Amino acid sequence: MAETRHVRFWNRIAARYAAKPVKDPAAYEAMLADVAGRVRPTDRVLEIGCGSGSTAIRLAPGVAEWTATDFSPEMLRIAGAKPAPDNLRFVLADAQNAFDGGPFDAICAFQVLHLVGDLPGTLARIHAHLKPGGLLITKTWCFADMGFKLRGLFLALRTIGLFPPVNALTRAALRQTIRDAGFEIVDERVFGTNPNGPYIVARTPLAGA
């Protein structure tokens, strides 16, 4: 399970996080529409780091099964209190141990890959638990590409417990790490005006390829 200090952080901010409005609703809706267009009614989908469950609740009706995982019990308590479709279940698990019930047709990781301690290892596990031709659908903050002042602000917030530890990824390094795990990147775009949170869709090789 995730380190206790990380769990404590997300438990502590869960209510505030869940109450915070989406910063760019149009960008969020565009991302949801793109994800919905990539998954099929017969798919079994795993989401890693589901937080308070809003994205899972929106997307689950379009697939056969949606399993949404998070390592924060408080986040999942908030998620579980929301009205949700019958094919959605919330499971307590971190990014290293979220793969029971695989292989999956798609695995989603929204705003989480920059938070995992071992990104290559996490991507290797994701790859191993996808079906041939399965999709990894991600949105990831690339903090190393941000301006010096903004990075300094996040560092200051982290020292007083208001921001979590993150991987200082560049967009180029993120792409390469995904490819090194055996994926083919099939789409990459930005929803909204911030270029430092790329949405990347990658695929495992088809059987026999």
Domain contains 146: yes
89 in a structural domain: yes
Distance CA 10, CA 55 (A): 17
37-92 pLDDT per residue, tens: 999 999 999 999 999 999 999 999 999 999 999 999 999 999 999 999 999 999 99
* DSSP string across 77-123: HHHHTS---TTEEEEE--TTS--TT--EEEEEEES-TTT-S-HHHHH
Q: What is the pTM of this model?
A: 0.90
- Asked whether residue 23 is domain-assigned, the answer is yes
Number of domains in the chain: 1
Which pLDDT band, with edges at 50, 70 and 90, does 205 fall under?
A: very high
Position 55 in a domain: yes
Q: Residue 69's domain is classified under what CATH number?
A: 3.40.50.150
User: Is 9 within the bounds of a domain?
Assistant: yes
Tell me the residue range of the domain where 32 lies: 4-203
**Can you give the pLDDT at residue 6?**
80
Any domain includes 199: yes
Q: Indicate whether 208 belongs to any domain.
A: no
